[in-house]
Structure formats: structure tokens, C-alpha cells
Structure 1
Amino acid sequence: MKLIIQIPCKDEQDHLPVALAELPREVPGFDTVEWLVIDDGSLDATIEVARAHGVDHVVRLSNNKGLAAAFQAGLDASLKLGADVVVNTDADNQYNAADIPKLVAPILDGRADMVVGDREITHLEHFSPLKKGLQRLGSWVVRQASSTKVPDTTSGFRAYNREAAIQMLVISRFTYTLETIIQAGKLLVAVEDVPIRTNAPSRPSRLAPSMGGYVRRNATAVFRIYSQYEPLKVFMSAALVVGLAALVVWGRFAYAYVIEGNGKGHVQSLILGAVLFNAAMLLAALGVVGDLLSAQRLMGQRIFERVRRIELELGVAPSHYEPGARDTGVPVTTGAGSGRATGQAAEGTRPQSTEGGERQALGV
């Protein structure tokens, strides 16, 4: 069995050496352990540092596409490189790599398809009480939306078996953590969590430069993702609330008209009630339309899954691929040497060495 440990990176030349030094080369239950770095448009020497520290594979995105896109690109490449299990971790070494055997154990035992590392937020000293409270609240919301029991839904320390990885399709540009949990719950992927250790932060979070912005973006992401899977529930619930508000406003007019015998002074209630009622009907209609579109979205996801399986059977090379510290024999599919968007390398484009692969990637 092959385990690939992937690390999405963006300008991590100073922190990556520490993270790579902690990664294992042997994990019980696996014959091979390989490392994959996804370069999300770094402007520094992240890739050179990765190669110097023994990374096996590199996925180099041409520009900064965001953490979610980098994660998806890494997952796709790991599958095409033959991974049976994929572990995702961070370049800033916030997760203790010694817990990787614990993380993959439920998958090896056949109990889970996806495992999320639980940082046990309440014990993190560098989290303020406010941040801990918001994390717990956010995780509770995601658990309700996904019908899972994951206590730490924003943890990026995760393991996927091959089947779960094939089904994952990340659409969000902000972060993959919430979307993949909701998606796993809706697709009935077996999800478990295990407690993990963390290291002291080496730099400020790039996903959460401000608490307000982080909460706002996560709340928006959860609403959008859940609405994609359960539009009827979302919009019908909103329609019910607005419809009840319309009845309350109309009730005020009816009381004045019937009981007091004078409704002239409450015409505005009649108008407001009509506006609210129309809004409720519109929300209900959006729920029905969204439900129909949700079926189309599910069909599209199944088609994506089928296409991915066909690509794996045909041996399509990973997109944006470059060799790591050694020649892997995998075609270079980056930069001037890349072929079509299918990931197939241009004719005659195979890395002769790490240095040669770098020159091809730079188009020189």
C-alpha cells in the first residue's frame, strides 16, 4: 500500500524545512510513504527548499488559486500517483507529524473512509477564549449541517482512503475543511476523528488575519455549501419564517379592523404583510428550483467521479506535475512542457533529472 502525505504551500520557504523534517518515511501498514508539495503560486524558493529536503513530488500551480484549489490539485495528483491513502497536513508544522500513524489507523482497520484530527480546541493555549468559543460554535453548526460527529471541523490534518478521495470535489475558493466534511456527510462517507497533538504556532494564520473576517467567510461558506445540498430545507425554512411574520403583521391589521372597528390607521400593516407574503412565496419558489438544481449538481458530481475513475484506469498523468528530489518517471505537465488540460504531457517531455525538470517547468 502507498501513503502520500501532501502539503499545500504558499511562500513557505522558511517554515517548510521544519515541517518536512518531522514527516515520517515509514508508517505501519504501508509499503511506501511519499511526500507531495503543492505550490500555490509561491514567489519565494518554496519548491527549491522542498526538493532540497527530499520531497518526492511537486504540483506547481501557475498562480495563487487559494488553499481549496491547492488541496484539490494535491488530492487529484495523489490519486494519479497511486496513493491508497492521502494525508493532508500544513506547511507551518502546526500538526504533530508523529500522530500520522494514529490518524490513518481507523482507515487501515476498515472503520472509516475519512479521518479528521481533533486538536482538542479547549486545550490550545494560543487560542483566546473568544476564538475557542467561536470554533466550538462553528463546529457545532457544521456537525448539524453534515450529520457527522467531527468535533474540530476546521482541522486540516486529515486522512482519506482512495474511495473517499475519489468522491471529493471542492468548489469553494476559501477553504476545503468545511466543504469536505459536509460533502462527506451527504455522500455517506464514513467519517471518524482522532485526538492529535499540535505544535506552537510559527507564524500568524493566513486564513484568519482577523477574527471577524474569518467568521464571516466561514459562515458564508457553510451557508453556500449546505444550500447546495439541502436547498429545499434552507429556503422553505426561510419562507416559513417570513410567512409567519406576514401573518403576524396581518393579524395586527385584522385586530384593528375587526375588534376595534377601525383599520384605516393600520393600512401600512396590510401593505407590509403583503410584501412579506410575496417574499415568502418567492423563497419557497427558490427552494423548489434549488432542489431541482441540486439533483443536477449531484448528477454532475457523479459524472466527475466517473471521469476521475476513468482517468485513473487510463493512467492519465497528474496536472501541473514536476519531479521532486529525484526522477520519478512521471511526465512533466507544467509550464512550457505541458500538454492539453487533460494532464497528458507534451510529446517527448519526461524529466531527465531534477535540474532538467526544473528547467522544463520554467520553460527555458
Structure 2
Amino acid sequence: MKLVILMLAYNEEERIEKTILRIPRKIPNIDQVEILVVNDGSTDNTVDMAMNAGADKIISHKTNLGVGAGFMTGIRNSISLGADIVVTVDADGEANIDQIPDLINPIINNQFDVVVGTRFWKGNPSTYKKLNYFGNQIFTKLVSFVAGHKFTDTQTGFRAYSKDAIENITVVNNFTYTQEVLLDLHFKKFRIGETPISFKHREDSRLVHSITRYTLRSLSIISSTLVYHRPIMAFGLFGALLSSIGIISKLISSIPNFIEINSTLSSGLILLGAVSFMIGLFAHIVFKRQAFSEKDLLERIKRLEKFKE
């Protein structure tokens, strides 16, 4: 069984060497361990430090494309390397590398397809800022609500993925992947579990330079993922809101000597609500057909690879 350690790096010359050297090359139930580094347009000596530390393969983007783009580059290359399991690790060394077996064992034992290392299994650690924890939990609860599955940490990058999971991942946003990939694989019926991890909190986040920007981008990612996987729910809720406003407006207008609301406006809102639901139904059919085509193509590729062997 082959394990690929996928490490995303951007200007990590000060930390990446130590992080790579900490990765064990011998792990129980694993025949081969390879370290794949995706250098996302670093302008420092990240690549040289990774090579010196013994990275097996380094893929570099010419410019900084984003964590999500780096993740998908790593996933595609992990598949080409023949990975049976992929563990994603940040190059900054925040995660406890010694806990890699805790992530992969549930996959080896066929308990889960994805295992997330959660930093908040028992609430907020004393080393983590309260504001950061609050923000993390807001998004974690939002993702949990959208998925209908309880998560305790949806922002962590320390995770393990099975071969079947990596072959079915679809992340389209370049900004980040942490929330989108969980929703994507959950909606595709993959089994996702969690295991508690220890970590060192990093003060200078590479991703969250602006809380407002991060919040808006993350909300956009969650919304677009919901629209893609559950269009009837997304457009249906929006349509129900519009229609409800229209119906309430008509009821209010019918009360004598009360607020008068334009009848055309309220009727328009009801109509727009119905149209929104129909758009969701149409999108559901289109996306289902696309998902079927993607799955069929993947099966054809697998059969072709087996034939070549």
C-alpha cells in the first residue's frame, strides 16, 4: 500500500525542511511513503529547502494560484503516483506529524473514506485565540448544517483520503479547499470521520489576511457548492422566501385601512419564487447528468488501466 504525503507550500523556506524531515518513512501497514510538495509560486527558497530535506517530487506553479488550486494539483499528481492513501499536511509544521497513523488507520480498516484531524474535539484549546475559534466554529456549524453531518473542525488541512475519494474529488475554487472538499465528498456519499489531533497554533496565517475577505470568499464557496450538489434545496429555499414575502404582502394589503402594498409587486415576488424553484429543478437534472457522465468516464479509465496491466 502506497501513502503519498501531499504538502502545500507558499514561501515556507523557514519551516518546510523541518516538517519534511519529521515525516516517517516507515509506517505500519504501509509499504511505501512518498512526499509530494506543491510549491504554489513561492518567491523564496522553499523549493531548495524541500529538495534538501528529501521530497520525492516537487510540482511548482509559476505564480501563486491559491490553496484550492494547489490542492487539486497535488491530488492529480497523487493519482498519477499511484497513491492508495493521501495525507495532506501544511508545510508550516502546525500539525503533529506523529499522528499520521491515527488518520490513515480508519481508512486501512475500511471504516472511513476520509478522516479529518480535528483540533477542537473537546472544545477550544488554551493555545488557540478565542476570536479565531469563534470564527472557525461559525463556519464549521454552517458546513455541518448544509451537509446535514456534524463536523467539529472544517478548516483544518491535516486529513487523509482513500484512493476512491481522491479519484472523485472535485474542487473548483482556487482560494481554499477545506470546506468545499468536505461538502463535495459528503454529497457524493463518501464516509467522513474525524480524529482528535494536537497542533501548534500559527499566528501569521497564509490564508486569512483579511477576516472580511476570507468570510465572503468562504460563504461564496459554501453557497456555490450547495447550488451544484443540491440545486433544488438552494433555489427552492430562495424561491420559498420570495413567494412567502409576496403572499404576506398580499395578506397585509387585504386588511382594510392598513399598509397598502402594490399588487403587481407582490404577485411578481410569488412568480419569481416559482421560477426559482423551476430553475433549481432544471439545474438538478443537468448536474445529475453531468455527475453520471463523470462517473462513467472514471470507470472507463479504470477499466482501460486494468487492461493495460
**TM-score (ref. length: structure 2):** 0.92
Corresponding residue of 1:55: 55
- In the alignment, the residues of structure 2 paired with residue 80 and residue 271 of structure 1 have an alpha-carbon distance, to the nearest angstrom, of 59
Taking the aligned partners of 1:3 and 1:300, their CA distance within structure 2 comes to: 29
Paired residue total: 307
Give the Cα separation in 1 of the matches to 2:145 and 2:301.
Answer: 30
Corresponding residue SS for 1:255? coil
Contact 1:36 1:58 in 2 (8 A): yes
Tell me what 1:338 maps to: none
Unmatched runs of 5 consecutive residues or more in structure 1 = 316-364
**Cα offsets for 1:58-106 (capped at 9, x unmatched):** 1222332221111111112112112111100101111110111111111
Separation of aligned partners in 1, 2:303 and 2:154: 31
Deviation (angstroms), 1:314: 8.1
Task: Determine if contact 2:87/2:158 at 8 Å carries over to the other structure.
Answer: yes
Structure 1 residues 157, 287: closer, same or farther in 2, change over 3 A?
same
Question: Closer, same or farther in 2 for the Cα pair 1:161/1:196, shift >3 Å?
Answer: same
- Output the CA distance in 2 between the equivalents of 1:312 and 1:145: 36
Matching of residue 41 in structure 1 with residue 41 in structure 2: yes
Retained in 1: the 8 A contact 2:94–2:199?
yes
CA contact (8 A) 1:166 1:309 kept: no
Matched-pair contact (CA < 8 Å) for 1:79–1:312:
no
Answer yes or no: is the 8 Å Cα contact 2:8–2:40 preserved in 1.
yes
Q: Which residue of 1 aligns with 2:285?
A: 292
Match of 2:262 in 1: 269
1:29 equivalent in alignment to 2:36: no
Deviation at 1:168? 1.0
Shift of 1:274: 2.5
Partner of 2:172, secondary structure, is coil
SS of 1:294's equivalent in the other structure is helix
SS of equivalent to 1:59: strand
After superposition, where does 1:211-222 map in structure 2 within 5 Å? Answer: 211-222=211-222
The answer on whether the counterparts of 1:89 and 1:95 sit within 8 Å (CA) in structure 2 is yes
- The answer (yes or no) to whether the contact 1:116–1:150 under 8 Å persists in 2 is no
1: CA distance, partners of 2:239 / 2:124: 41
Secondary structure of 1:14's aligned partner: coil
Q: CA deviation at 1:115?
A: 0.5
> How do residues 163-312 of structure 1 correspond to structure 2 at under 5 angstroms?
163-201=164-202, 204-256=204-256, 266=260, 268-303=261-296, 305-306=298-299, 309=302
1:154 and 1:312, CA in 2 relative to 1: closer, same or farther beyond 3 A?
Answer: farther
Q: How far apart are residue 305 of structure 1 and its match?
A: 3.0
The amino acid across from 1:34 in the alignment is E
AA partner of residue 279 (structure 2): L
Aligned to 1:198, what secondary structure does the other structure show?
Answer: coil
User: How far is the alpha carbon of 1:181 from its aligned partner?
Assistant: 0.8
Tell me, what secondary structure is at the counterpart of 1:21?
helix
* Cα distance, 1:199–1:129 mapped onto 2, change above 3 Å: closer
**Structure-2 change in CA distance of 1:12 and 1:215 (3 Å):** same
Inter-partner Cα distance in structure 1 for 2:272 and 2:242: 7
Matches within 5 A, 1:344-355: none
Give the share of equivalent positions with the same residue, in percent.
25
Moved more, 9-18 or 93-102: 9-18
Contact 1:246–1:274 (Cα < 8 Å) also in 2? yes
**Secondary structure of the residue that 1:167 maps to in structure 2?**
coil
Change (3 A) 1:177 1:96: same
Task: Check conservation: 1:169, 1:301, Cα contact below 8 A.
Answer: no
Partner of 1:334: none
**Distance in 1, Cα, partners of 2:63 & 2:44:** 13
- Alpha-carbon RMSD across the aligned residues, in angstroms, is 2.2
Alpha-carbon contact 2:2-2:83 (below 8 Å) kept: yes
Name the CA distance, whole Å, in 1 between partners of 2:108 and 2:282: 42
Question: Hey, what's the Cα distance between the residues in 2 that align with 1:6 and 1:16?
Answer: 12
Secondary structure in 1 matching 2:255 = helix
Structure 2 residue 146 is matched with structure 1 residue 145: yes
Q: Aligned residue for 2:69?
A: 69
Q: Are the counterparts in 1 of residues 124 and 133 from structure 2 also a CA contact under 8 Å?
A: no
TM-superposed CA distance for 1:107, in Å, is 0.9
Please tell me the residue identity of whatever aligns with 1:134: G
- Distance between the aligned counterparts of 1:19 and 1:308, measured in 2? 35
Q: Which runs of 5+ in 2 are unaligned?
A: none
Q: Structure 2: how far apart are the matches of 1:48 and 1:62?
A: 15
Determine which structure has more spread, i.e. the larger CA radius of gyration. 1
Q: Which residue of 2 aligns with 1:325?
A: none
Against the structure 1 CA distance between its residues 15 and 313, is the aligned structure 2 distance closer, same or farther, given a 3 Å change threshold?
farther
1:126-154 deviation digits (Å, cap 9, x = unpaired): 54323322322211221222233331111
The amino acid that maps onto 1:299 is F
